[in-house]
Amino acid sequence: MVEKKQLGFYLDISACIGCKACQTACKDKNDLPVDINWRTVIEYNGGSWEFENDNLVPVNVYTYHLTVSCQHCENPPCLPVCPTTAIRKGDDGVVLVDPAKCMGCQYCSWACPYGAPQFGGRGEPMSKCDMCADLRAIDKNPACVDACPLRALDWGEMTDLRAKHGNVTAVDPLPDGNLTNPSMILTPHKHTQALSNGVGHSASLPESNPKAKNAIGANIIKEAR
């Protein structure tokens, strides 16, 4: 039996500095409005400052960054909830939205634990990352990948990415990878926290569409207040 093709992303968390070049490149390439982001960079940190001999000293202080877009999940929860069949997985495993079928009901956004589908407003279809299908069609990399100055971000066949980088698909503050089988492989930072251990928090200010209801965005907004 021939294994289905599945493209995905790779992120070396230990190399990501949170510069947002990937996010900016995505926004520029796709000409996205101010309140729409197909890729978001999350800053996650923890630890504390405590007095020692009348001096403040850091205790287990750490920071790391994650860049997150649509995970093009093997089991995308956005697909079965779409009432118009506007969402489908392509032959390459990339999750796509057909704007001609989409009625903007936002069910996909509510179902997605990554908040990938973005709502542009009444009368507008949902939109999201398609891994720069137009660039891939001419043998170029997605815009976000080429924009990374530290080469922390890459893409390719999931079988190849797993063979090269392992099979870590989630760290705090991401959802459990077993929920959707996301097509993203991670190399942890030395301070990377295990899932939901409760010792850190998202320090990023909310940047995504405030109308998009999603787990990551909701956590960021809640903790930034």
**Tell me: the pLDDT tens digits for 80-128?**
999 999 999 999 999 999 999 999 999 999 999 999 999 988 889 999 9
CATH 3.30.70.20 fits 7-224, yes or no: yes
What's the whole-model pTM score? 0.85
In tens, the pLDDT along 10-57 reads 999 999 999 999 999 999 999 999 889 999 999 999 888 887 888 888
Q: What is the rounded CA–CA span in Å between residue 70 and residue 128? A: 7
pLDDT band per the 50, 70, 90 thresholds, residue 214: very low
103: which residues sit within 8 A by CB, 6+ positions away? 83, 84, 86, 125
Q: Where are the beta strands (DSSP E) in the chain?
A: 7-12, 39-52, 55-69, 87-89, 95-97, 153-157, 184-187, 200-202
pLDDT, residue 207, reads: 55
* Model confidence at 218: pLDDT above 90: no
Domain boundaries, the chain: 7-224
- Compute the CA torsion angle 149, 162, 184, 111 (nearest 10 deg): 180
In tens, the pLDDT along 155-171 reads 999 999 999 999 999 99
Q: What is the rounded CA–CA span in Å between residue 116 and residue 213? A: 10
Choose among 109, 112, 121: nearest CA to 212. Answer: 109
Angstrom CA distances, 203 to 22, 141, 154, 184, 220, stand at 19, 30, 25, 22, 7
Please, which residues bridge with residue 7 across strands?
Answer: 157
Residue 59 phi, psi dihedral angles, 5° rounding: -125, 110
Name the least confident of 126-140, 165-179, 198-212. Answer: 198-212
DSSP symbol at 190: T
pLDDT band per the 50, 70, 90 thresholds, residue 225: very low
